[in-house]
Amino acid sequence: MLGLKVGDVVGGRYELRRDLGRGAGGMVFEAFHQFTHRSTALKVVAADVPRSQISTLKARLVREARALAAVHHSGIVEVLDGGVLEDGTPFIVMEMLEGRTLEGLITTRGQLGREDSVAIGLQLCDALDALHQVGIVHRDLKPGNVFIVRDRDGVERLKLLDFGIAQIRSDDDDKLTGIGALIGTPAYMSPEQLLALDVDHRADVYALGVSLFECLTGHLPYAGNYQSVLLQVCAPEGKMPKVAEWAPEVGPELSLVVERAIARKPEERFATAMEMGRALHAAIPTPRSRTFFLGAPPMPKFSPAPAPRPNPAEQRRRARRAAYATPVQIVLPGQGGAVDGRSEDISEGGLLVICRHPCEANIRAAVRFAMPIEGKVVSVDVHIRWVRAARPGEPEGPRAIGLEFIEVPEAMRASIAQYVALMGEG
């Protein structure tokens, strides 16, 4: 297959500007439409995947495009275009999102409050209901596939991503549909999905329940690898997880909603996402569907960049920042090797990075990442100020890492300041 890189033009019109991420055999680039001048996200099968997986990954990319095209909802990422490369590899073009992942928020904060968790649940119930109405089951709902963005009016919205293993009612490819039951993140998979049985929309209700359990408590109801989760979920006399054991302040009404959503038997869960949404709305005294994780609305795009600060070190905690997602590599000193992750936000002072690899705090390292505006990959020395594991008992769980830049070149600082002024938070 063709190996795409930044600078290539796809389909005669999409110029690849920046690497946005890789995973599960796919690559995502920021792509500039040369005619409309719109920034988009272009997804394609990675060139270095094993030959035995190419046909399956291509089929999943086509599936994702068709699933996204089948539903139009503000809580679901919008597909804009698609096509095939010269060698027949499909690609899809989606709206470009700038924001934070729900996984990153949970990792950084530990747990979220009741009102915020209910607001997240209400928006996701609405998005799932739109999917289920047209016969689509997502099958991979988890905080890492939920993106928090601002719309053009400055209102925060949750966007559901990654439909590569979605089950589509009209899909005739039973083989591809079947293998999807064994693909996903085990901790968020329903018992029937773990057992490779037929699943319906109630598998998404279960995954949403697990995600809200994690929002409220900072813990997963069942953790570990596939075999470990399967044994816990399917144990005949296994103890059902309780929200109150981790977060008694959540209250019995909301706890019962979450615990019903993660019932082992599908018939004991909510019959629909809309029914779950109504239960969430009734579970706390002052429910709301809006979130406020991204802070104050961005400054007008014509505003100038802020003036240089006389002492960046003293202002570090007060520095304006902006949500910014891009692959990051932290090069550790000596023989420490490198840690791969993704950024959640950027400021003139540093980066917030989410990764799944051990990393020591209070040391000097180097970080490589693509700049927000130019897309140019840079390397700069950093102090690793702090490391926080979302779940310390889970070695492969997500970690939040705070990086402070050291001796940033003026051109780089000015570029970041410009980006933050356009996109930033208070």
Of the listed ranges 25-34, 121-130, 255-264, the one predicted with least confidence: 25-34
* Residue 355, pLDDT above cutoff 70: yes
Same domain, residue pair 233 and 160: yes
Retrieve residue 140's tokens.
């991979």
Instruction: Give the residue carrying structure tokens 């949500």.
Output: 323
Q: What is the pLDDT of residue 67?
A: 86
In which band, very low, low, confident or very high, does the pLDDT at 20 lie, cut at 50, 70 and 90? confident
Q: What is the pLDDT of residue 393?
A: 72
Same domain, residue pair 273 and 159: yes
* Residue 19, pLDDT above cutoff 90: no
In which band, very low, low, confident or very high, does the pLDDT at 177 lie, cut at 50, 70 and 90? very low
Q: Which domain holds residue 68?
A: 9-95
User: Is residue 298 in a domain?
Assistant: no
Question: How far, in Å, CA of 404 to CA of 83, rounded?
Answer: 41
Residue 382 near residue 404 (C-beta atoms within 8 A): yes
The percent of residues in the chain predicted with pLDDT above 70, rounded, is 89
Could you report the per-residue pLDDT of 42-99, keeping only the tens digit for each? Answer: 999 887 777 777 888 888 888 888 888 889 899 999 999 999 888 888 899 999 998 9
* Residue 299, pLDDT above cutoff 60: no
Question: How far, in Å, CA of 260 to CA of 171, rounded?
Answer: 30
Q: What is the pLDDT of residue 176?
A: 47
Closest CA to 263 of 252, 271, 274: 271
Residue 135 near residue 170 (C-beta atoms within 8 A): yes
Closest CA to 63 of 92, 84, 40, 23: 92
Retrieve residue 261's tokens.
């959503």
Q: What is the mean pLDDT of residues 278-303?
A: 79
140 is catalytic: yes
> Nearest-5° angle of CA 146, CA 33, CA 155?
35
Question: How far, in Å, CA of 191 to CA of 206, rounded?
Answer: 9
Same domain, residue pair 126 and 259: yes
Same domain, residue pair 65 and 21: yes
Question: How far, in Å, CA of 301 to CA of 152, rounded?
Answer: 12
Question: How far, in Å, CA of 140 to CA of 350, rounded?
Answer: 32
Alpha helices by DSSP H, 161-304: 174-179, 191-194, 202-217, 226-234, 243-246, 252-261, 273-283
147 beta partners: 101, 159
Same domain, residue pair 257 and 169: yes
Instruction: Give the residue carrying structure tokens 């390292």.
Output: 365
Same domain, residue pair 245 and 123: yes
Could you report the per-residue pLDDT of 106-132, keeping only the tens digit for each? Answer: 999 999 999 999 999 999 999 999 999
* Residue 379, pLDDT above cutoff 60: yes
In which band, very low, low, confident or very high, does the pLDDT at 141 lie, cut at 50, 70 and 90? very high
Give the CA distances from residue 85 to residues 15, 49, 65, 170, 217, in Å, rounded to whole numbers and listed in that order.
Answer: 14, 16, 15, 26, 45
Q: What is the mean pLDDT of residues 212-241?
A: 88
Same domain, residue pair 318 and 224: no
User: Is residue 176 in a domain?
Assistant: yes
| Residue 231 CA, distance from chain mean position | 27
95 beta partners: 40
* Residue 181, pLDDT above cutoff 70: no
Q: Per the structure, how many domains does the chain have?
A: 3
Question: How far, in Å, CA of 31 to CA of 13, rounded?
Answer: 9
* Residue 281, pLDDT above cutoff 70: yes
From 116, 140, 162, 204, active-site residue: 140
340 beta partners: 329
User: Is residue 250 in a domain?
Assistant: yes
Same domain, residue pair 243 and 114: yes
Instruction: Give the residue carrying structure tokens 């089929």.
Output: 59
User: Is residue 307 in a domain?
Assistant: no
pLDDT: which is higher, 169 or 28: 28
Q: What is the pLDDT of residue 2?
A: 61
Same domain, residue pair 387 and 325: yes
Q: DSSP code of 252?
A: H
> What's the helix, strand, coil split of the chain in %, to 5?
35, 25, 40
Strands (E) located in 97-215:
99-101, 136-137, 146-150, 156-160, 167-168
Same domain, residue pair 37 and 81: yes
Look at the pTM and tell me if it is higher than 0.85.
yes
Q: What is the pLDDT of residue 21?
A: 82
In which band, very low, low, confident or very high, does the pLDDT at 317 lie, cut at 50, 70 and 90? very low
- State which amino acid sits at residue 267: E
Q: What is the pLDDT of residue 130?
A: 95
Q: What is the pLDDT of residue 306?
A: 46
In which band, very low, low, confident or very high, does the pLDDT at 296 lie, cut at 50, 70 and 90? low
Q: What is the mean pLDDT of residues 201-217?
A: 97
Please report how the helices 202-217 and 102-109 are oriented relative to each other, as an axis angle in degrees rounded to 10: 30
Same domain, residue pair 118 and 249: yes
Q: What is the CATH number of the domain that holds 403?
A: 2.40.10.220
SS3 at position 324: coil
Retrieve residue 201's tokens.
């929309």
Of the listed ranges 24-38, 144-158, 309-323, the one predicted with least confidence: 309-323
Residue 407 near residue 349 (C-beta atoms within 8 A): no
- Element containing residue 55 per DSSP (H, E): helix 54-69
Rg (CA), the chain: 22
Q: What is the mean pLDDT of residues 339-360?
A: 92
> Nearest-5° angle of CA 349, CA 352, CA 354?
160
* Residue 303, pLDDT above cutoff 90: no
What's the whole-number average pLDDT of the chain? 86
Retrieve residue 320's tokens.
């304006």
Q: What is the pLDDT of residue 312?
A: 40
pLDDT: which is higher, 358 or 280: 280
In which band, very low, low, confident or very high, does the pLDDT at 172 lie, cut at 50, 70 and 90? low
SS3 at position 375: coil
Report the relative pairing of strands 146-150 and 99-101 from DSSP bridges: antiparallel
> Nearest-5° angle of CA 90, CA 95, CA 101?
105
